[in-house]
Amino acid sequence: MGIGIGEILNNKQLPKGNRDKVSNRIPIDSVDVLADELVSEYANPEYRKWYCKVIYKYGLAQTQEWRRRASEGKEPARLFSKYVKDAQTYSGSMRPLDA
């Protein structure tokens, strides 16, 4: 499964200011659970960090909606990535979320 964001924060590997920012946004355990589910569902463990960034940027509800919609496609992992990239383009954020 790899190290979760909760473990990083508990081990104080981030500066205190960053820990506070992260913990105020989305519950860390929720991010870890959803990211692990996406890794398992799409069989892409190397994308876990990217999934976490997607969840933080767009939220749990939007990520779950893309996941639901992608599950109806022939290649759900690719379709999920397309939804995220389309959202980045539409929002004017041309800078990709680094993996």
SS3 track for 5-30: HHHHHHCCCCCHHHHHHHHHHCCHHH
In a domain, 99, yes or no: no
In a domain, 26, yes or no: yes
Q: What pTM value is reported for the model?
A: 0.69
In a domain, 98, yes or no: no
Per-residue model confidence as pLDDT tens digits over 25-83:
789 999 999 999 999 999 999 999 999 999 999 999 999 999 999 999 999 999 999 99
Helix (H) or strand (E) holding 59: none
User: What's the domain count of the chain?
Assistant: 1
- Indicate whether 19 pLDDT > 70: no
